[in-house]
């Protein structure tokens, strides 16, 4: 949870650094890359992180499904090959990361490598063990990755429980088309993208006037299909569905927060701060 001024400064710094990573940008523009149309911003870095998490969840699901149906020599060979693949993946991505050692680009480059290699490993296993997986009801689908508010990691935030409650309230209001309720859960100015143009929504009246353009069919679909256990967060804020909506605890501009105070993670109201129509989930793109 950061003050608005800190959030803006962090965004500008990240944007400047990320724009210089040409090699990573080229990788993300490959035909099969999940974030190939994303502008190189903090949002695209988050898209890449989530894409990697989803591929890792899918790899674990597919691998687990296969080993349950194998035995004897076939099982041992798969386990051995998987161990070797993990070693190669880690060594290969570490080599990619070392090119940017000491720079802020290290994380995105490393995650991009992990996402690409993991995605290709999933495809490889599905092709190699197509007979084993032929009766899998989830074949061709991806298991949703749980957010770090549910599966804790180093970026998990103490205000995760409050964030989940906020998302559920926001989701319910959107489902009921309660525009007034939505307007009350927004921090102004709200950062949005309408017809691929980034702009600010300065107040409640402006939001209500452009409500259908901001919360278009694709955005509504992405928010309503998301599950509470998909909420995740980091220093930038909290989000779901590949960053289609971001929310955060709002610290008054006139206040200097004490990050060590017992109530730091509970006293500030959570509100929506950004809506990104360009990052709607794949399943909802046809409804845009």
Q: How is 112-135 classified by DSSP, letter by letter?
A: HHHHHHHHHHHHHHHHHTTTTTTT
Split at pLDDT 50, 70, 90, the class of 200 is very high
Of the chain, the end-to-end C-alpha distance in Å amounts to 31
Q: Give the pLDDT mean for 5-16.
A: 41
DSSP class of residue 287?
G
DSSP codes joined into one string, 167-216: HHHHHHHHHTT-HHHHHHTEEEEEEEEETTEEEEE-SHHHHHHTHHHHT-
- Give the pair of three-digit tokens for residue 129: 């063990």
Predicted confidence (pLDDT) per residue in 69-127, tens digit: 888 888 999 999 999 999 998 898 888 878 877 666 667 777 788 888 898 888 888 87
Q: Give the pLDDT mean for 13-32.
A: 44
Does residue 130 surpass a pLDDT of 80? no
Residue 182 is predicted with a pLDDT of 98
Note the pTM of the prediction, 2 decimals. Answer: 0.56
Residue 5 is predicted with a pLDDT of 46
Does residue 203 surpass a pLDDT of 90? yes
Question: What topology is assigned to 4-128 in CATH?
Answer: Substrate Binding Domain Of Dnak; Chain:A; Domain 2 (1.20.1270)
* Separation CA 177–CA 264 (nearest Å): 32
Q: Mean of the per-residue pLDDT values for the chain?
A: 80
Does residue 170 surpass a pLDDT of 90? yes
In the sheet where 237-240 sits, what is the strand order? Answer: 197-201, 186-194, 270-275, 245-249, 237-240, 232-234
Higher-pLDDT residue of 204 and 3 is 204
DSSP class of residue 143?
P
Predicted confidence (pLDDT) per residue in 25-53, tens digit: 445 555 556 665 555 555 566 677 778 88
* Separation CA 88–CA 106 (nearest Å): 19
Does residue 17 surpass a pLDDT of 50? no
Say if residues 113 and 101 touch (Cβ distance below 8 Å): no
Give me the residue spans of the domains in the chain. Answer: 4-128, 160-287
Residue 224 is predicted with a pLDDT of 94
Domain 160-287 CATH assignment equals 3.40.720: no
Split at pLDDT 50, 70, 90, the class of 7 is very low
Residue with tokens 């870095």: 45
Predicted confidence (pLDDT) per residue in 220-244, tens digit: 999 999 999 989 887 778 998 668 8
Split at pLDDT 50, 70, 90, the class of 147 is confident
Phi/psi for 70 (5° steps) reads: -110, 160
Other beta carbons less than 10 A from residue 77's beta carbon: 11
Question: 191 vs 21, 135, 136, 223, CA distance in Å?
Answer: 25, 45, 42, 17
Say if residues 119 and 50 touch (Cβ distance below 8 Å): no
Residue 278 is predicted with a pLDDT of 73
Split at pLDDT 50, 70, 90, the class of 16 is very low
* Separation CA 235–CA 258 (nearest Å): 16
Does residue 181 surpass a pLDDT of 60? yes
């Amino acid at each position: 949870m950061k003050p608005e001024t800190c959030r803006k400064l962090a965004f500008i710094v990240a944007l400047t650094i990320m724009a210089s990573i040409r090699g990573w940008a080229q990788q993300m523009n490959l035909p099969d890359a999940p974030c190939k149309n994303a502008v190189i911003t903090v949002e695209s870095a988050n898209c890449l992180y989530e894409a990697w998490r989803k591929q890792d969840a899918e790899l674990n699901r597919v691998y687990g499904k296969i080993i349950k149906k194998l035995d004897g020599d076939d099982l041992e060979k798969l386990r051995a090959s998987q161990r070797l693949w993990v070693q190669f993946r880690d060594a290969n991505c570490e080599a990619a990361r070392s090119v940017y050692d000491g720079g802020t680009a290290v994380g995105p480059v490393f995650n991009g490598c992990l996402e690409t290699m993991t995605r290709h490993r999933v495809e490889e296993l599905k092709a190699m063990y197509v007979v084993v997986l032929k009766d899998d009801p989830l074949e061709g689908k991806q298991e949703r990755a749980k957010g770090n508010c549910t599966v804790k990691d180093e970026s998990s935030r103490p205000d995760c429980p409050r964030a989940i409650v906020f998302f559920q309230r926001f989701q319910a209001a959107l489902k009921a088309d309660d525009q007034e309720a939505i307007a009350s859960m927004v921090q102004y100015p709200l950062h949005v993208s309408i017809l691929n143009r980034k702009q600010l929504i300065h107040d409640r009246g402006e939001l209500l006037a452009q409500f259908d353009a901001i919360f278009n069919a694709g955005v509504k679909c992405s928010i309503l299909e998301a599950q509470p256990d998909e909420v995740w967060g980091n220093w930038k804020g909290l989000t779901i569905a590949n960053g289609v909506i971001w929310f955060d605890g709002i610290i008054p501009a006139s206040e200097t927060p004490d990050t060590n105070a017992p109530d730091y993670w509970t006293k500030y109201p959570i509100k929506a701060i950004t809506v990104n129509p360009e990052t709607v989930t794949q399943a909802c793109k046809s409804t845009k």
